[in-house]
Structure 1
Amino acid sequence: MLFRNTRSLLIAGILLSGVAAQAQADLPDFTSLVEKASPAVVNISTRQKVADRSANQLIPDLEGLPPIFREFFERGFPRSPSDSGKNRQREAQSLGSGFIISEDGYVLTNNHVVADADEITVRLPDRSELTAKLVGTDPRTDVALLKIESKNLPAVKIGKSSDLKVGEWVVAIGSPFGFDHSVTAGIVSATGRSLPSENYVPFIQTDVAINPGNSGGPLFNLKGEVVGINSQIFTTRTGGFMGLSFAIPIDVAMDVANQLKAGGKVSRGWLGVAIQEVNKDLAESFGLERPAGALVAQVMEDGPAAKAGLKVGDVILSVNGKPVVMSADLPHLIGTMKPGSKAELGVVRGGDRKTLTVTVGALPETDEELLAANKGSGSDLNSSRLGVRVSELSAEQKKTLDVQTGVVVSEVTNGPAALIGLRPGDVITHLGNQPIESARSFIKIAAELPANRSVSMRVLRQGRASFITFRLTE
């Protein structure tokens, strides 16, 4: 009996060892990748002169402290009266990562690593340091291109981020917290991610450990090819890694780099529309089978979309045959197109599908230019069914809001209007997928709205347009 039990234990042990060995064999070995790729990964440090808020002789030397502690102590020491009016400066420093993309010294990193720097230094793996020239930056994609004067430098292999698959292994090399050439690994968690503050980058999401100092460093696939630039993390107040990291696809970054190298700036496509997500209720209201596409909430006057006949309430479902599933897909697809090129838009209008051809425009370079591109009297009438009183738009309101038709909300009582959050001063331009020509047409359309079905309403508030939905019970 003892022999039989011992034999069973031995067999079980052998089987477990075999399973463990097989599991170990299935895990990738990154050593060869790191040995070949590391020489092209660099450390980037910057210096910048900033106003010295302390300007106080009683304050001890704080330059050796990390910035977060230095600023804490500076705020804690009061300024002396003798220092008032003095314009002292101190030197701020930052650290990040980058990688060499050509043997003649072009280096890619993040814009936020080198933004406003007075001096940029690139440290190579052999610890030699070279002053870098800033070729150009693109804040919208957070990409910066540098140039160092040297020859026969080790360069990375550029891969295709479009070939990435969710679940495949990726490796990051960088300088988190200043620890040069730290290697971390993980998998691709998602592709084509949109972040609230970024409209033109379909981010690669990974679970690779990324921390301050990794910014601008490369993300490699198992072939040793760069597929992304590590750019952002999702974190709590601690500022540390939480398992959500985001990288700029190398396809996007190299397009930016090539444009910066050629002309020092980046141009990208633009439609001249404001869009929003299509939820379940909006999909039902606009006659869609399922929530999908980008709902056009505003069309800028004389913009590319307006010239092509795109209208408010259109739902864009595709661009040149590529599906627009989420509204954030549209800026990605249009942004990669060259200004002046043609785009075929698959659109749903009033339940009917049609194709519009638009000549893509150039996205304004600054937010001020973009804002500039997006630039009634009569008796009140009351809709007791909606619980809202409206009046005609004045000529001045139409000019200021850049609208031709619509009504302004003068009072909100009880009813659907209050439930959906309408306020006095809101401008209603469409109701039930129909344009509002006057206050009387608004009352007429409101009276004919169907019950127990999603109804859409387009509202302008402080110059911003959006569609909202509601249901009438009777």
Structure 2
Amino acid sequence: MGILRIGRFKPYESGLILGITVLAFLLMLMVQTAVGAEEGVKPYPNAPISFTELVDQVANEVVNISTTTVIKRGPGPSQFGPHKQFRDFFGDDFFERFFGQMPKERRQRSLGSGVVIDPKKGYILTNNHVVANAEEINVRLVDGKEYKAEVVGRDPKTDLALIKTKKSLDVKSGAPLGDSDTVKVGEWVMAIGNPFGLERTVTVGILSAKGRVIGAGPYDDFLQTDAAINPGNSGGPLFNMKGEVIGINTAIVATGQGIGFAIPINIAKELLPQLEKGKVIRGWLGVSIQEVTEDIAKSFKLEKAEGALVAEVIEDSPAEKSGLERGDIVISFDGKNVASPNELQRAVANTPPNKRVKAEVMRDGKTRTLTVKVGAMPDEIPETAKAVTTGLGLTVQTLTPELAEQFDWPRDEKGVLITDVESGSAGAEAGLRRGDLVKEINLQVVEDTKQYKRLVGKAKAGESLLLFVKRGSRTFYITLTLESE
């Protein structure tokens, strides 16, 4: 093995070399710093050296919103008084002499943010949760001017609201609304709001992700940013570097830092005409849908795990009238591909009621095209899609493939699933459990909650019903006496 000899260490030579090296490095650093100062070298391409111009451009369009909500106090012990057991023993008169009566209602004040979109009309866009149930709404501009405001329209499902001041706003112009579809991950963004009551707080960051589903509602499609967003920022705008609003800040991850969410402004732009009218009316099909997983795709012999699987079709709904069936996989709607249940939900919701559209579905390995006349979403979902509680003390639901998977039943199993058993009820005393499957009532087959309600409804209080129940691999008959409701 060859050995490379290294010259003897010489302190004076090494010191001289080190000194020359350090001097050269410092000179080079000074030159680079001077050039950078002259040419405005940026830490990242396209990153602004300063955000001051942008802040000056958009700050006047952001408002602080303060609300007052009246909270009614229910019956119960005084906030400072002893527990109910002691009050029951000594009596209310005794304790009211020492503790006094609690007020029946209290006023709760909250802070939020908003963005001016039409100063002449007094229109301000904000979050629904900022103004929901508010008795009083006050708006304050950057210059300190205050205005009384009222709700024009709210949409809890997207957490958006449009409010209006009683006078025109003394603002030069409304904030321009950008295009959240074209904004790219990694772009710089700016949030301005009222976090913790600290007015006109400016934070910057980048767009971290798009299309986030966080479980906030049926139409989740959030922008994610690492710009600091805190309580009080709700309803405030998320700007791009052009000064355009690309989102309305709405949520944070409580356990995480640098994770905030904003509603894409394109969703707000779609809803604004309806918010101005005071109510959002969405399209409706009347189906329960679920994700197409890899396993489900294999079971249905699909090439890709895409689409929306129909788990239930509500009776007399637009879906049923159009020929949609349980087990269909919707792959396109109104000419647009459907990759997930969320995409189908948003597409249907954005379709005007009574419009006829084409829907492509996979059924029995073949593609079929159906014509669907979209309905208007009802205020309450029809009973067949809900859990049903009866005088037997049982809460039941139609067994869907999704519920079957959750409760370890075969996907093609049919019946009515017991999801809850009331303590002390006839069902509980008979030993029925959550997860049991009702197959028959009085020797008649039961496959959905409509049949279940019809058969139970025939019986009068005190009469007995014969249930055929399946539990795991075991089946058995059981008799229950109907209680008076």
Structure 2 length normalisation: TM-score?
0.70
**Residue 54 of structure 2 is aligned to residue 33 of structure 1:** yes
Q: Which amino acid aligns with 2:206?
A: I
**Residue 271 of structure 2 is aligned to residue 256 of structure 1:** yes
Give the C-alpha shift of residue 101 in structure 1.
0.5
Evaluate the alpha carbon distance shift between residue 93 and residue 35 of structure 1 in structure 2; reply closer, same or farther with a 3 A threshold: same
Evaluate the alpha carbon distance shift between residue 168 and residue 391 of structure 1 in structure 2; reply closer, same or farther with a 3 A threshold: same
Where in structure 1 are there 5+ consecutive unaligned residues?
Answer: 60-78, 376-382, 415-422, 426-474
Counterparts of 1:26 and 1:43, CA distance in 2: 31
2:160 equivalent in structure 1: 143
Give the C-alpha shift of residue 357 in structure 1.
2.1
Contact 1:102 1:153 in 2 (8 A): no
Q: What are the Cα deviations for residues 29-68 of structure 1, in whole angstroms up to 9, with x where unaligned?
A: 4222211111010000011222358996979xxxxxxxxx
Evaluate the alpha carbon distance shift between residue 157 and residue 243 of structure 1 in structure 2; reply closer, same or farther with a 3 A threshold: same
1:215 equivalent in structure 2: 234
- Identify which of 2, 23, 42 aligns with 2:63: 42
Counterparts of 1:370 and 1:392, CA distance in 2: 26
Q: What are the Cα deviations for residues 415-440 of structure 1, in whole angstroms up to 9, with x where unaligned?
A: xxxxxxxx999xxxxxxxxxxxxxxx
- Identify which of 138, 151, 158 aligns with 1:134: 151
Contact 1:305 1:358 in 2 (8 A): yes
Q: What are the Cα deviations for residues 215-237 of structure 1, in whole angstroms up to 9, with x where unaligned?
A: 0001111110011110111112x
**Residue 202 of structure 2 is aligned to residue 183 of structure 1:** yes
- Identify which of 126, 132, 147 aligns with 1:109: 126
Where in structure 2 are there 5+ consecutive unaligned residues?
Answer: 1-15, 82-93, 387-409, 414-435, 453-466, 478-485
Evaluate the alpha carbon distance shift between residue 15 and residue 270 of structure 1 in structure 2; reply closer, same or farther with a 3 A threshold: farther
Contact 1:55 1:88 in 2 (8 A): no
Counterparts of 2:59 and 2:245, CA distance in 1: 12
Identity of aligned residues (%): 44
1:230 equivalent in structure 2: 249
Counterparts of 2:211 and 2:305, CA distance in 1: 18
Q: Which amino acid aligns with 2:265?
A: I
Evaluate the alpha carbon distance shift between residue 289 and residue 16 of structure 1 in structure 2; reply closer, same or farther with a 3 A threshold: farther
**Residue 318 of structure 2 is aligned to residue 304 of structure 1:** yes
Q: What are the Cα deviations for residues 219-265 of structure 1, in whole angstroms up to 9, with x where unaligned?
A: 111110011110111112xxxx622211111121133222121x211
Counterparts of 2:357 and 2:31, CA distance in 1: 60
1:400 equivalent in structure 2: 449
Counterparts of 1:34 and 1:243, CA distance in 2: 21
Counterparts of 2:150 and 2:371, CA distance in 1: 42
- Identify which of 244, 247, 251 aligns with 2:262: 247
Contact 2:62 2:115 in 1 (8 A): yes
Q: How many matched pairs?
A: 378
Counterparts of 1:164 and 1:25, CA distance in 2: 17
Q: CA RMSD in A?
A: 3.4
Give the C-alpha shift of residue 117 in structure 1.
0.9
Counterparts of 2:385 and 2:254, CA distance in 1: 34
Structure 1 length normalisation: TM-score?
0.71
Task: Give 1:411-422 correspondences, 5 Å limit.
Answer: 411-413=471-473
Give the C-alpha shift of residue 285 in structure 1.
0.2
Q: Which amino acid aligns with 2:139?
A: V
Q: SS at 1:21's partner residue?
A: coil
